[in-house]
Structure formats: structure tokens, C-alpha cells
Amino acid sequence: MNAILRRGACPALSLPMQTGDGLLVRLSPLSGGVTPAALVGLCGSARRHGNGIMEVTQRGSIQIRGLTPASARQLAGEVNALGIAVRSGVPVETGPLAGIDPDEVADPRPLAEAIRAALESAGLLGRLGPKVTVIVDGGGRVAMDALLADVKLTAVQANGEPLWRMSVGGDASATRALGFVGQTEAIVAAVRVLEAVAELGLHARARDLDHSSLNRIIGTLVREDQEGPASIRSILARQPLLGIHTLANGSSALSVALPFGSMPADAIAELARQAVELGAIEIRPAPRRAMLVLGLSPDAGSLLQGSAVKLGFVTDAGDPRLHVVACPGRPACGSGLVETRTLAEGFARQYASLFDGSVTVHVSGCAKGCAHPGTATLTLVGDNNGVGLVANGTARSRPVGYIAAEDISGAFERIAALVEKERRSNETAAACLTRISMLAAQTFTTQEQD
């Protein structure tokens, strides 16, 4: 290890990032997953060298925090000794069920591998910013639609043959669909788009390319996007990730999520130990802060699911904790000004009715906002004035009001009661909270920061 990254870059195992909670590393297994025994070992390393809490990110990478330069070096050595090969270079991501999903239109792994090799041959590895990403989605039951990607290729059945629907620069709601490509054209098109991004510099992303540039670069490679309704149908038909899945080889996989994106390393290790006893062969970190246990029988899947509930994992797609993000906070993080997980647990448990799918709540131990740099419907942020409330902003935004941590439960109750009273028919909870945010701020507190 010879450097420490600034915030905003991608903290590889060999290049940790400085946070308010010491150094952070992020790792993605090269093969997609690790053996359950290796995960037990990794949890032990995280406990010995980090703050004892492990995270799975929204994109499905493992994060370990609270490291020092010396302990980060030791962790890297132990990961190596555990036989966990980690991904490097431009991320070319596939879904966690890639190649074993009975519903996928095409196995995305060969195309992903060919794109990785082509990007390397084109000399692009050092010329792209650290967040530039390609997603190759086999079109199966685990949707990758919500994830941002510079280039996204999604398999669809078009006129009886699998093709790749190509888009650039966003997630499903903010993407530019370019049309269809075959496998060979997909490789060339991905390289050309990323070469054009590299020309713009290390801070550029594919969203910076205008329409006429894209047309000039890949216009001859793509076929017209005439299959919109079919591809939209395939997206809508996909199932939520959580639960027990029957795979193409007849075995079962259990998918669980980490509440608030993190769990004590000991709880993850215990799940992995039980997975070993039940015959699991692999555990894959997965998008939306989940983990997928592979190689189970249906009965073993049910048994492990019961254990996961007892250990505190999220196993039900209706669990409100899926819509709350919290950093480790106090006492795990030295910069934490509030006990984030206690607040987050209380909020999700007491106000489940708020979580109609439209609301995201972020509980941050301080203004650094490590767990969720983006905007949330409500952000509760630890501050020397108490807990700050931010509506439709980030942990760094100016709070509209403050309250003492010990009074927070009553404040939540007032906000929930207000939403119940003010919510119009056909209005989402998020839209209602946005509309009444100033009212909510008044019920939350009467204090104002200078």
C-alpha cells in the first residue's frame, strides 16, 4: 500500500480511502463470490483490524472501515492468504445470479469478460476515472436497473435471438437508450464509448457525451431501438432479490440483506458458519446491500433463512429497514455524534407505515455522510446541536431544525402523525414529506442553528 485516496474515489484493498472513521477499503471478489469458509476468515480479519462492522454497498461490494495504514496492510495480506482474488481495473459488473439464473435471457459473463479484455487491450485502464462502470445484465430475475452505469448492456429477446440493449449514462430512469447490438458489436461499442470518455479526461463520465458524438462513435453498430415495450416488460416482470431462489442447476439460493447496509462481522461470520454446515458452496455480495448464499437444498435454504432472521438480517422485501441507511455512528466510529443504528432501528420499527416504497431515510453519525452521499427524503444527522433534520438533501446540507437525541422518539411520532394527517389521496409518503417539510421541521424542533 503506497497511498491513501481522497473521498469520492474507489478505495481498493491496496489503496484505502480516508474517512472520518479511519481508512476504508472496498473489495469485490473477482469470481463474484467467496467460499463460506473464506467469508468466516474475512469477518475475523474485519473484526481484528477494522471497527468490527462490515458493509455491503448498494452496488454489491464489501466494505471494511476503521482501519489504520498498518492494519489495512495486514488486512490485505490476510485477504490474499484466504485465497480471495479481488477485482481490479474498470468495473464490468454482472448480476449476482449471472450464469445460474433460470430466467436470464443470456449468460452475461462471457460478454463481460470480453469487454474487460478489450478495455485492457485498448489501454484504457489508467485513462478512466475510478467510478466509470460497465454493467452487463443477463436480463434475469435480479434487475440491475437501479444501478448507475456509463455503459449498460441488457439482454433481451428480440425476434427470437438474444440481443443486447445498449444505453449510456444513468440508471433505468435516467438513461439514454441507443438501440440493440449483437455480442461482437457490443464489445466494440463499449470500447468506443469509453475511449470517448477517456478523451474528455479523468473526471468525465459517459453522460458527458452528447447525442451527436455518440451517434458518430457507434451509430453504425447499433440497430434501431424498436423493442422498447418488450424490454420494459422484462424489467417489470423481475422479482425482488430477497428470499429463496431455485437456480438453473436445481439447487437453491438464499438472499438476505444487511439492515442499513451493515452488520457486525460476527453476525455475518455466524451466518457463513451455518451455511457451511448446511452445504453452501459460495456466498456472493449482491446489489442493494444483499448477500446470496448458493448451493443449498430447499430445506437448507429455509433453515438458513430462519437463522438469518434471528441474527437480524433482512429476509422480507417488505421490511422497512430496506429503506433506511445508517452509518456505523457512535460508538463504532470515533466521529459519530449519535447512535445511528439505534435511531435507525427505532425509526423503521415505529413508523413502518411511512415506508410505502417512496421514502428513503438516512441516519448519519456526522455531516460526512459516509453511508449515503446522495439525497434522501429525510436525513437525520448527528451534530453538536443534537440531531439535525434535512428534507430532500444530504448529510452535508443545512438542517431545517435540530432536536436533542433523547427527544427524537417523540419527534418521529409528531412527523409520522403529521404525514398521516396531511397526506392526500394518491400521494406518496415522500411527496407528502416534501410538501410539508417546513411543517415537519417545526414539529421536529424550534431550534435554529446560527
Binding mask 55-84 for ligand SF4 (x = CB under 6 A): ------------------------------
Closer Cβ to ligand SF4, 96 or 336, answer by number: 336
Q: Which of 11, 21, 61, 280 binds ligand SF4 (CB under 6 A)?
A: 21
Picking from 316, 324, 332, the residue whose alpha carbon sits closest to that of residue 243 is: 316
Smallest distance from ligand SF4 to CB 51, Å: 9
Smallest distance from ligand SF4 to CB 7, Å: 10
Q: Which of 205, 245, 368, 423 binds ligand SF4 (CB under 6 A)?
A: 368
Picking from 263, 348, 288, the residue whose alpha carbon sits closest to that of residue 52 is: 263
CA dist 363 and 260 (Å) reads 9
Considering only residues 98 through 127, tell me which ones interact with ligand SF4, judged by CB under 6 A.
Answer: none
Smallest distance from ligand SF4 to CB 19, Å: 6
- 242 belongs to the binding site for ligand SF4 (CB under 6 A): no
Residues 6+ apart with CB under 8 A from 425: none
Smallest distance from ligand SF4 to CB 73, Å: 22
Residue 360 grid coordinates: 428513503
Contact (Cβ atoms closer than 8 angstroms) between residue 346 and residue 412? yes
Considering only residues 384 through 403, tell me which ones interact with ligand SF4, judged by CB under 6 A.
Answer: none
Closer Cβ to ligand SF4, 50 or 169, answer by number: 50
Closer Cβ to ligand SF4, 181 or 333, answer by number: 333
Smallest distance from ligand SF4 to CB 288, Å: 20
- 19 belongs to the binding site for ligand SF4 (CB under 6 A): yes
Closer Cβ to ligand SF4, 60 or 369, answer by number: 369
Number of neighbouring beta carbons within 10 Å of residue 175: 20
Closer Cβ to ligand SF4, 222 or 333, answer by number: 333
Smallest distance from ligand SF4 to CB 336, Å: 4
Closer Cβ to ligand SF4, 24 or 155, answer by number: 24
Picking from 141, 139, 219, the residue whose alpha carbon sits closest to that of residue 178 is: 219
Q: How far is CA 107 from each of CA 137, 316, 388, rounded to the nearest angstrom?
A: 8, 27, 47
- The SS3 of residue 29 is strand
Q: Across the strands, what pairs with 27?
A: 62
Backbone φ and ψ of 16, nearest 5°: -70, 165
- The SS3 of residue 15 is coil
Q: How far is CA 151 from each of CA 171, 187, 201, 399, rounded to the nearest angstrom?
A: 10, 11, 17, 36
What is the identity of the amino acid at 401?
A: G
Smallest distance from ligand SF4 to CB 371, Å: 6
Picking from 333, 383, 382, the residue whose alpha carbon sits closest to that of residue 20 is: 333
Closer Cβ to ligand SF4, 9 or 117, answer by number: 9
Residues 6+ apart with CB under 8 A from 349: 320
Burial of 183 (0-12, 13-18, 19+ CB in 10 A): middle
Closer Cβ to ligand SF4, 57 or 443, answer by number: 57
- Give the binding range for ligand SF4 (CB under 6 A) out of 14-22, 99-107, 198-206, 439-447: 14-22
Closer Cβ to ligand SF4, 28 or 335, answer by number: 335
CA dist 296 and 290 (Å) reads 17
- Give the binding range for ligand SF4 (CB under 6 A) out of 35-43, 286-294, 368-376, 421-429: 368-376
CA dist 99 and 107 (Å) reads 5
How many residues are recorded in the chain?
A: 450
Contact (Cβ atoms closer than 8 angstroms) between residue 191 and residue 90? no
Q: Which of 33, 36, 287, 369 binds ligand SF4 (CB under 6 A)?
A: 369
Q: Which of 13, 16, 17, 20 binds ligand SF4 (CB under 6 A)?
A: 20
Closer Cβ to ligand SF4, 262 or 437, answer by number: 262
Q: How far is CA 149 from each of CA 12, 106, 249, rounded to the nearest angstrom?
A: 19, 19, 30
Smallest distance from ligand SF4 to CB 53, Å: 9
- Give the binding range for ligand SF4 (CB under 6 A) out of 17-25, 177-185, 236-244, 349-357: 17-25
Smallest distance from ligand SF4 to CB 262, Å: 10
Q: How far is CA 58 from each of CA 76, 130, 166, 286, 334, rounded to the nearest angstrom?
A: 23, 17, 22, 8, 24
* Three-point CA angle 304, 309, 315, nearest 5°: 85
Closer Cβ to ligand SF4, 283 or 381, answer by number: 381
Closer Cβ to ligand SF4, 19 or 255, answer by number: 19
Considering only residues 307 through 366, tell me which ones interact with ligand SF4, judged by CB under 6 A.
Answer: 327-329, 333, 335-336, 364-366
Residues binding ligand SF4 (CB under 6 A): 19-21, 327-329, 333, 335-336, 364-366, 368-370
